[in-house]
Amino acid sequence: MKKVVLASFLACAAIAMNLPYASAQDTAAAAAPAAAPCQAGVKVEMPAPEYAVYNNAMTQATPQAKAAGLEQYLTQFPQSCVKQTVLETIMVLDLSVNASQAIDPADRILQLDPTNLKALYVETYVRGLPVGSIKDPTAQQAAQDAVASYAQKGLTAPKSAGMADADFKALQGTAFPVFYSAIAYDALLKKDYAAAIDTYKKELAVVSPDATKTPGAVLMDIYYMGEAYRGSTPHDYLNCAFYESRAIAYAPDNYKAAFSPTAKYCYKQYHGTDDGYDAVMAAATANLNPPADFASTVKPAPTPAEQIHTIIASTPDLATLAISDKEMVFQYGSPEDTAKVWDTIKGKSVEIPGAVVIASTPTQLQVAVDPGAVQTKTADFTFNMKAPDDLPATATAAQKLAYKKKQDAIAAATAVGQTVTLDGTYDSFTPNPIMITMSGGEVVLAKAAAKPPVHTAPHKAAAH
């Protein structure tokens, strides 16, 4: 009879994957009495024929050969007392050679022990590797949901029988950041930004300080947390700028270039300009989380109402404001400032060139006038069109033809997608979404270019 210790991982393989391990000791000594069958963490008696197969596998020179030998051992001895330990060893060996191969032994371990922390760790880690490359959003979400389910179980997995408390804590220290990362990313894909932020913070609370300064998964998650702040309702642009700047500070150069535009965008959204961004970068480089007084060191941009008040105070003739400024006032201005601007244009007629037709009927045109509205093809003006003059009963054939040509030209000019010049009188507006309504709308048709005069050369007398 031979005795072996129930060990979870081969030392070399466990170190390679940064997992704690118990060293395996094979001995031929038989002085100690036999332990109870399958009792974890202690020596157990193994019949000589079984031990020979086991020992042959464990003494192979390569991970591939060891894993193959142990699989052969389990085929020959499917009810082995060390079956779970052998599967854990195969799992780590496979992980050191080809991560995807480790899923099969992990699955088999969970069939024996559904709360096995080591197997849940491997399931979470390995199944999470390809998720980011899945192009179809539905498939990607389903894959990440599965990964997160393993992670949730891992957070509550109990200590295995026979595992030392120190080893269990060390394994949790390795596994928990991966679990929190998977759960947070799952929430991020679902746009549950509050849950993503909360879970990323839990991850940062259990990782080593060095991990937050080293290119890798943790640093990437710091960037993702910044993205979660950016997506929050309302948007938290200041925290977005801080955490993404933290990621930039310690990222490789190619990632710095990829991360910087979003970090600076968030800062400008909060501050209004990019001046002072260097101070944010310095704070993020020195601190994992924003210092207590961080918010007081970055002045927020003026609110739209404050910007509007400044515009109005600095504009002597409010009627001369650009259409985009007028629309901003109507959307965000105080009642007093809005009334000041509207009173300068209400009831006044104006010619508006460059209007892009969004919707068209004979009695009403919806058009985009402001450059932003033109770019997004969103109507911001409604023209209620003036009815065309009726032809007199005594109209001649030539007048009828001219009338028809004009109506055809108007119809062509006001087709959806056309750019047209319109006359109208300011009648009313609604602020959100912005829509300015004009009455008495008329199409201003381009005038036909005058034909140049025909000059004839003076007649020259024939020479005699």
Q: CA 415 → CA 33, 356, 406, 423, distances in Å?
A: 97, 10, 14, 17
pLDDT at 17 over 80: no
Residues in contact with 102: Cβ distance below 8 Å, sequence separation at least 6, in sequence order: 91, 92, 94, 95, 122, 126
Q: How confident is the model at residue 145 (pLDDT cuts 50, 70, 90)?
A: very high
Q: Is 29 contained in some domain?
A: no
Q: Is 183 contained in some domain?
A: no
Which range is most confident: 230-244, 308-322, 400-414? 230-244
pTM for this predicted structure: 0.67
pLDDT at 158 over 90: yes
pLDDT at 5 over 60: no
Per-residue pLDDT averaged across 41-51, rounded? 81
Domain final position from 301, 336, 358: 301
Domain final position from 301, 334, 356: 301
pLDDT at 314 over 90: no
Q: Is 264 contained in some domain?
A: yes
Share of the chain above pLDDT 90, in %: 73
One domain for residues 258 and 351:
no
pLDDT at 3 over 50: no
One domain for residues 272 and 351:
no
One domain for residues 199 and 297:
yes
Q: 78-82, 335-339, 388-392: which has the minimum mean pLDDT? A: 388-392
Which pLDDT does position 382 carry in this prediction?
Answer: 98
pLDDT at 219 over 70: yes
Q: Is 279 contained in some domain?
A: yes
Q: How confident is the model at residue 11 (pLDDT cuts 50, 70, 90)?
A: very low
pLDDT at 320 over 90: no
Domain count, the chain: 2
Which pLDDT does position 448 carry in this prediction?
Answer: 59
Q: How many CB atoms lie within 10 A of CB 328?
A: 19
Tell me: the pLDDT tens digits for 416-463? 999 999 999 999 999 989 999 999 999 999 875 555 665 555 555 444
Q: What number of helices (H) and strands (E) belong to the chain?
A: 18, 8
Which pLDDT does position 38 carry in this prediction?
Answer: 58
One domain for residues 438 and 367:
yes
Q: Is 19 contained in some domain?
A: no
What's the half-sphere exposure (Cβ side, CA atoms, 13 Å) at 94? 23
Per-residue pLDDT averaged across 258-280, rounded? 94
Which pLDDT does position 36 carry in this prediction?
Answer: 38
Q: How confident is the model at residue 311 (pLDDT cuts 50, 70, 90)?
A: confident
Mean pLDDT across the chain: 87
Tell me: the pLDDT tens digits for 61-70? 999 999 999 9
What does R_g of the chain's alpha carbons equal in angstroms? 38
Per-residue pLDDT averaged across 147-163, rounded? 95
Please state, in angstroms and rounded to a whole number, the distance separating the CA atoms of residues 42 and 105.
23
Q: Is 199 contained in some domain?
A: yes
Tell me: the pLDDT tens digits for 125-139? 999 999 999 999 999
2 sits in which H/E element: strand 2-5
Q: Is 404 contained in some domain?
A: no
Q: Is 322 contained in some domain?
A: no
Please state, in angstroms and rounded to a whole number, the distance separating the CA atoms of residues 41 and 334.
74
Q: What are phi and psi of 351, to 5 degrees?
A: -100, 125
Burial class (CB in 10 A: 0-12, 13-18, 19+), 353: exposed
| Residues linked to residue 444 through DSSP beta bridges, in sequence order | 421
Q: 6-20, 224-238, 263-277, 423-437: which has the minimum mean pLDDT? A: 6-20
Per-residue pLDDT averaged across 182-198, rounded? 98
Which pLDDT does position 395 carry in this prediction?
Answer: 87
- CATH value at residue 367: 2.40.50.110
Per-residue pLDDT averaged across 219-243, rounded? 97
Domain final position from 274, 301, 328: 301
pLDDT at 162 over 90: no
Share of the chain above pLDDT 70, in %: 87
The boundaries of the domain holding residue 267 are 193-301
One domain for residues 287 and 365:
no
